[in-house]
Amino acid sequence: MAVREPRSRPGWQFQFIPVPGYQSRVEEEARLSWWLRRWFVDEQLAPIAFWLCVLSGYYAFVATAGTFGALDWHTDYYDLLVRGWQDGHLHLSVKPRASLLRKANPFNYRYVGLWLWDASLYKGRYYLYWGPVPGLCLWLFKTVTRYREIVLDQWLGVVFMLIRLYAGAALIVMYARTEVPRLPSWALQLAVLAFAVAYPSPYFLARPLIYEAAVAAGQAFVFCGLLLAYWGTLKAQVRTRCFVLAGICFALALGSRGSLIIVAPILVVVTAFAANRRAGYPWRGLLRDGLALGTPVLLGLLLYATYNKLRFDSFTEFGLKYQLTSPPFMSKRRFILPNVVSYLTTELAWSCKFPFVRVPMERELTHLIAWPDDYDIGDWEHGERTAGILLAIPVCWLWSLWLWRLLRSGVRSSQLPVQLSLSSRELWLLGCSSALLCGLAPASRMWMANARFLQDAAGGLLLGAIGAGFWLLARTHTEAPSISRTLGAGVFAASSLHSIFVGVCLGFTGTLDNFVRENPDLFDYFVRTLSVCR
């Protein structure tokens, strides 16, 4: 029996006509879905995503002394700068008092009641010696959103510290997945937590003034740049664009924090050489990558110098010479050794009462060095103080592993130059971490040591220690005796947990004990419920 073909009926044929941009939207939604699944389903990334959410709330909690509002003692210097820009000039919108300008020497401390504290007074106008980039970000925010209210420096500090947290966590995760793919989830979580809350970050957040906003902005842009630079070293097909973006971030970092002018060029050199190590350092590759990274940095330096010239009639004057502060700005070589001792070994005060750990006001000074008479050891009520790295951040002891590996490479190698046993990614991490430590170099010549200066180098300290810890875990994982694996895991876990505990405890104090002053009821509640003794 013949089978007849069904007749096609007009109107029943379906023809798909794509809407312009449909395919790109589908691909974009697919990529977004993939990233969401990866972060919230992946057995390693899901806990990290959870901790980042918790840490975001913790940062806001510490920065506001548990009130989630503005602190009574605050500054709005960057807002003053932006309002000055909106009025068409580079100085602050607030004018110096006429009585101050009539003084023969307005910088004399006897007129402190007339000052805008720590502003720079030049030719009858107020300027900031802090970098202008945080103000540029605030100006962009206000321009886009048409927000007219005052934005305190407190909120800028919190936002930039959160950016540092997210970029740093992403960098740690990316490094772990490429360098130590079999790293256990608990170790990755401890690494991110140590980076987030180890001293001085919570202690630093507890006083979010203009000082902290500038430092936090510099560190936020540095870690965004490091994340892009590391991605560029891994992916040759996107290397140039990643390096250009990384260079822009490094330029914004030095425009936020003047001490990073030393750090940014070192990061450019380290990244360019690390990216070309496998190829034998070809000069074309070094030149291409160096230009991609370095051109934005050079442009940023030129713009910053021009900004200084327009304000202070000098390319190299940032405003420190014209500070309204006391004591006057001092940078002397005789302060280097006292600062090194202070940053490394200043003791902690332990107690059985909450918050258990404090930076003591009274220090017991070592007699092994001579302490200059004009060096400020922070022994007054509101003095600037710091805790010793070796005591407050014990995870940093893992830096000794880098030194041991480098020395071992030098001993074993019979060739010149020495053939290092470190991978290209390890060398990049070690080089960048060491470069970040140089951010503390200008502060080492100052008349005091304090936590906000240490924050310039804390990211490098922790990043290098975490990288060394990852190598330790990977190395001991392959050892046959179980005691080696247990010992390696124990060292990393114990040093990380100790650093996390000290950092969280110190977050409830800060330089000025803001938590006690701003939220005494909640602090008393913590003392009653968490203390282990009366």
Query: 323 pairs with which residues across the strands?
Result: 120
Pairing of strands 349-350, 357-358: antiparallel
Placement of tokens 């070589």 in the chain? 333
Tell me which amino acid residue 328 is: P
DSSP string, 68-124: SS--SS---HHHHHHHHHHTTSSS-SSPPPHHHHTSS-TTSGGGGGGS-TT-EEETT
Nearest to 441 by CA among 461, 456, 431, 452: 456
Indicate if the alpha-carbon torsion angle 218, 222, 225, 227 is positive or negative. Answer: negative
CB 342 within 8 A of CB 449: yes
- The domain segmentation of the chain, as residue ranges, is 43-74+147-530
Tell me which amino acid residue 458 is: A
Residue 237's alpha-carbon distances to 231, 233, 243, 303, 407, in angstroms, are 11, 10, 12, 31, 35
Q: What is the mean pLDDT of each run of 10 residues along the chain (534 residues)?
A: 46 45 55 53 81 97 93 91 95 94 92 93 94 96 93 96 98 95 93 97 92 96 98 94 98 95 96 92 94 97 96 94 86 92 94 93 87 86 85 96 85 55 91 95 91 94 97 81 84 97 94 88 94 87
**SS3 call for 75:** coil
Structure tokens at 377: 């050891």
Helix spans in 146-275 (H):
153-179, 185-197, 201-205, 210-234, 239-254, 260-275
Structure tokens at 17: 């006509």
Placement of tokens 């006292």 in the chain? 338
Count the alpha carbons within 13 Å of 451 in the hemisphere toward its beta carbon. Answer: 29
Query: 331 pairs with which residues across the strands?
Result: 446
Instruction: Compute the distance between CA of residue 262 and CA of residue 436 in angstroms, rounded to an integer.
Output: 9
**SS3 call for 448:** strand
Q: How far is CA 264 from the centre of its chain?
A: 14
Placement of tokens 């590996």 in the chain? 405
Residue 28, pLDDT score: 57
Indicate if the alpha-carbon torsion angle 307, 313, 319, 324 is positive or negative. Answer: negative
Residue 213, pLDDT score: 96
Helix spans in 64-124 (H):
77-86, 98-101
Residue 16, pLDDT score: 41
Instruction: Compute the distance between CA of residue 225 and CA of residue 422 in angstroms, rounded to an integer.
Output: 23
Query: 3-state secondary structure string, 336-359?
Result: HHHHHHHHHHCCCEECCCCCCEEC
Overall residue count recorded for the chain in this entry: 534
Tell me which amino acid residue 384 is: E
Query: What element of type H or E holds 125?
Result: strand 125-127
CB 230 within 8 A of CB 274: no
Structure tokens at 166: 């997210």
Nearest to 129 by CA among 313, 257, 251: 257
Instruction: Compute the distance between CA of residue 347 and CA of residue 344 in angstroms, rounded to an integer.
Output: 9
DSSP string, 314-340: -TT--SGGGB--SSPP-B-GGGHHHHH
Residue 514, pLDDT score: 85
Tell me which amino acid residue 426 is: E
The model carries a pTM of 0.89
CB 346 within 8 A of CB 506: no
Residue 486's alpha-carbon distances to 17, 78, 393, 399, in angstroms, are 62, 50, 22, 20
